[in-house]
Amino acid sequence: MLANRKIYTWGKALGVSSGAVDKLLKGAVPGIDIQLSMQHKENCNLTFLNTGKGKPFNVNNFSSSRGMIDHMAELLINAPWNIYIVRADSLLTLVFQQPGQYEYKTKLIDHDVCEVLVGQYTETVHKYLSTKLEFNKVYFPRLSEVVVEQITEGYLGTYALFGDAKTSGYLNHLSHTIPVLDELPPATVSEQNTADSHLMRAVVRLIEQSIVEGKAEVSVETKANIITASYNYAVKSGAKANTLDSQGILAIVDAMLE
């Protein structure tokens, strides 16, 4: 939760007094006011904070395109946002961010309003993104596969993503982020055949590993086509994430890169 910050620096950003921080260091459980401040400031998962169950940070997971689109529509009422397209292969991971404030006791605390959305990257979602984001700033950050997975799975919070006045985060480090909407890759999952996310992730990892090891230069569109063909092959063969026919998929990769 501290993300390499000193605990007093972290507490000050939350509006928490040094005395309260001292109590936390002695093992005291944060009161509900501090917990809610952490939820606002850090996007932390209070269930995880109190029980250790679940993921450290909040992620909105959607099982349907309609659910994801409806949630985006609600967020876009309060445009403009900075929208980061973290992932757009079988899954779509979006981070919405805008400056905001919340009240902690008698103080107003500045923070990054942050929403992480994860769902299947279908044609319907692709069409929505391509037509409804014109009043927002949209970015496609250059991130490692590890960081993409950490964001998608709820292991990185607001500070890691956006930093503070002195430190850049993964997403707002502008040397690693380019504003692009016209390069949004095509959807890889059809509405009629929503992907098994565990199987799709296994397929994507295998393909990405193969591309890296082969040092091949692959366009976004070609990679999407490879993922689609490989996933369809895995489904037809009845594979699961832990019984994937790696040789068959690698053969598809080789054939499509020839």
Task: Give the pLDDT of residue 70.
Answer: 96
For the cut 60, the answer to whether the pLDDT of residue 192 exceeds it is no
Task: Give the pLDDT of residue 193.
Answer: 43
| Under 8 Å between Cβ of 164 and 3 | no
Residue 144 or residue 65, greater confidence: 65
The sign of the CA dihedral 234, 238, 243, 248 is negative
Question: φ and ψ at 181, to 5 degrees?
Answer: -120, -30
Look up residue 132 and give its two tokens: 């409804």
The sign of the CA dihedral 135, 136, 142, 143 is negative
Which one-letter DSSP state was computed for residue 173?
-
| Under 8 Å between Cβ of 227 and 203 | yes
Hey, is 93 helix, strand or coil? strand
Which of 6-15, 43-52, 132-141 bottoms out in mean pLDDT, i.e. has the lowest? 132-141
CA distance 48 to 82: 27
Q: Provide the β-strand partners of residue 122.
A: 189
Task: Give the pLDDT of residue 221.
Answer: 62
| Under 8 Å between Cβ of 176 and 140 | no
Share of the chain above pLDDT 90, in %: 37
Look up residue 231 and give its two tokens: 């996933």
Which one-letter DSSP state was computed for residue 156?
-
CA distance 236 to 36: 47
Task: Give the pLDDT of residue 67.
Answer: 95
Mean pLDDT of 78-93: 89
Task: Give the pLDDT of residue 248.
Answer: 92
Which band of pLDDT confidence, cut at 50, 70 and 90, is reported for residue 138?
A: confident
Parse the chain into domains and list their residue ranges: 7-51, 60-178, 197-257
| Under 8 Å between Cβ of 172 and 162 | yes
| Predicted confidence (pLDDT) per residue in 209-236, tens digit | 888 888 877 765 677 778 878 888 888 8
Q: Which amino acid is at 239?
A: A
Task: Give the pLDDT of residue 34.
Answer: 92
If residue 120 lies in a helix (H) or strand (E), which one and from where to where? strand 107-120
Mean pLDDT of the chain: 85
First-to-last C-alpha distance (Å) of the chain: 46
Mean pLDDT of 97-120: 93
CA distance 74 to 212: 39
User: Read out DSSP for 69-82?
Assistant: HHHHHHHHTT---E
Which runs of consecutive H residues, i.e. helices, occur in the chain? 7-14, 18-25, 32-42, 46-51, 65-76, 123-132, 145-153, 158-162, 197-214, 220-236, 246-257
Hey, is 109 helix, strand or coil? strand
Mean pLDDT of 60-74: 95
Which band of pLDDT confidence, cut at 50, 70 and 90, is reported for residue 189?
A: low
Query: β-strand 107-120 against 60-61: which pairing, if any?
Result: parallel
Task: Give the pLDDT of residue 176.
Answer: 47
Mean pLDDT of 36-52: 91
For the cut 70, the answer to whether the pLDDT of residue 175 exceeds it is no
